[in-house]
Structure 1
């Protein structure tokens, strides 16, 4: 019995110690689990707070951007209104970009022609124009001097107004000097006409002249360039005069008074210097019989020669 009791006490002590250790281990494990859960909850709360803060920051940034966009739109709108008001007070002039600029061009044409009889004639024409596409001033000078005779002169001043894309209406006056006449050497005529581009690119001048002593006449000049090369050009041309009425001292016969039908071949050294040769056929109806002149018949003849054209 003395031996059994100590053994029982020893077993009980060991069992009690084992239970105590198990209890302490369970308490420690429970404490660790609680701590881990607390840390997890704390981390989740922190993440949630961070997300909430980020959302609020994004909302604030979006609000600021919206406000800035509204302010920018209001500023742009105000600037547009101010610009329109300034344009209304000071309208922009675009005339220079749409044909409103003033330009000037002058052409000098001088040719020496001979007929079949060997008689020569020097013909010189000068045309200068200045103005815009819509309004121009034309100055035309003409001199015709037959060999061993006095020269005839004519000067024409015309105001030109564009009436369509290809035509200008013109009005002005013509001054003539004829040294062959004993009386009425100087004549002044009113002139109206058209200047422009006829179908098939014929450059055309058509004028009606009204003068003293019931002098009414019509003239037509038309021509077209035909390019053989960029520098070698053929130009057929037609000049005609029609007398509608004439009671002057040196009256011409009524009807088709004169015709010049020719072909010019020119070589353009450049756009300012252009020599050419010319072949033409002419018809002159003649003059009426008056107290100052005898009646003359019609004449038909060929002319040939050369000339020089200048442009600047």
Structure 2
């Protein structure tokens, strides 16, 4: 008993001390001012809000990251489809090439020019000259049709018709080949003749429009003709045009043979006024040289002639 009692007293003392401490803690808490309690609750609430904000921020970051990944995936898929479409388009173009000739000079066009002029010489004799030129085709391939009529006053007319196929061989030149049909009413025989023709049509240096032809006919008739001209603009409507027409006979064994060499030359200056691009009246001054004909069984030899011509004319284009 003596041993148990001290132990019992000790246990009871410790239990009483514990109860006393708990009671004092509760009294201290209840005796704490309201502001301190409020601050304690506020800090607890604020820490809770901070935690909630961090959680929501993390959620938003995860959502944005997922959206960005989805957008990148969508762009990658779109790029893949675009590349596939481009490859398919190139393959289709290679298999079925698109024809762009109409956009690059492949279209067919037509143009016709009619030139009528009445010229008088120093003796008062007149001559009516008519030239018609029509062309149809593309920039690369064209067909030229040329008609010429020359009627001196109180004489029969001379005619010539020429058909030429024209093929572009450079930026400024076409090679031409065709045939010429001519009629000379002054001759008793061989009034109608055919010549093969080959030549060049284009723009010579310094912007001279040029037609150069070599003609091959029967009876060893070989001749060369050259026509060149250039427009010099005084105004947009008033234009000077110097021109040169010459014929060279290389050989001629026909009944009405011409003298070989430089056979004829026309050197002139035309001044025209363009009312519009379809109607153009003009005046013309020219100097001509004619070498003459050889002596044959059908004709007497003739001498050369030199004379001035002056007159007016009208040019139509459509």
- Post-superposition offset of 1:288: 0.3
* Distance change (3 Å), C-alpha of 1:291 and 1:79: same
Structure 1 stretch displaced more, 203-212 or 3-12: 3-12
CA displacement 1:52-109 (0-9 Å, x = unmatched): 9999999999991222122111111121122122222321111111111111100000
- Post-superposition offset of 1:122: 0.3
* Distance change (3 Å), C-alpha of 1:143 and 1:18: same
Q: Residues of 1 paired with 2:50 and 2:3: CA distance?
A: 71
Q: Residues of 2 paired with 1:14 and 1:60: CA distance?
A: 56
Q: Residues of 2 paired with 1:297 and 1:223: CA distance?
A: 28
**1:73 maps to what in 2?**
79
Equivalent position SS for 1:118: coil
CA displacement 1:252-309 (0-9 Å, x = unmatched): 0000000000000000000000000000000000000111111100000000000000
**Unpaired stretches in structure 1, ≥5 consecutive residues:** none
Q: Residues of 2 paired with 1:66 and 1:4: CA distance?
A: 83
Alignment of 1:10-25 (within 5 A): 24=24
Structure 1 stretch displaced more, 238-247 or 19-28: 19-28
Pairwise CA RMSD = 7.5
Equivalent position SS for 1:67: helix
Structure 1 stretch displaced more, 24-33 or 297-306: 24-33
**2:316 maps to what in 1?**
310
Structure 1 stretch displaced more, 250-259 or 88-97: 88-97
**Aligned residues between the structures:** 312
- Post-superposition offset of 1:3: 42
**1:85 maps to what in 2?**
91
Q: Residues of 1 paired with 2:13 and 2:55: CA distance?
A: 63
- Post-superposition offset of 1:25: 7.1
Equivalent position SS for 1:130: strand
Equivalent position SS for 1:180: coil
* Distance change (3 Å), C-alpha of 1:11 and 1:74: closer
**Unpaired stretches in structure 2, ≥5 consecutive residues:** 64-69
Q: Residues of 1 paired with 2:232 and 2:124: CA distance?
A: 30
List structure 1 segments (4+ residues) > 3 angstroms apart after TM superposition: 1-63
Q: Residues of 1 paired with 2:117 and 2:212: CA distance?
A: 23
Q: Residues of 1 paired with 2:51 and 2:111: CA distance?
A: 80
- Post-superposition offset of 1:27: 6.3
Q: Residues of 2 paired with 1:228 and 1:34: CA distance?
A: 109
**TM-score relative to the length of structure 1:** 0.84
**TM-score relative to the length of structure 2:** 0.82
- Post-superposition offset of 1:223: 0.4
* Distance change (3 Å), C-alpha of 1:119 and 1:62: farther
Equivalent position SS for 2:42: helix
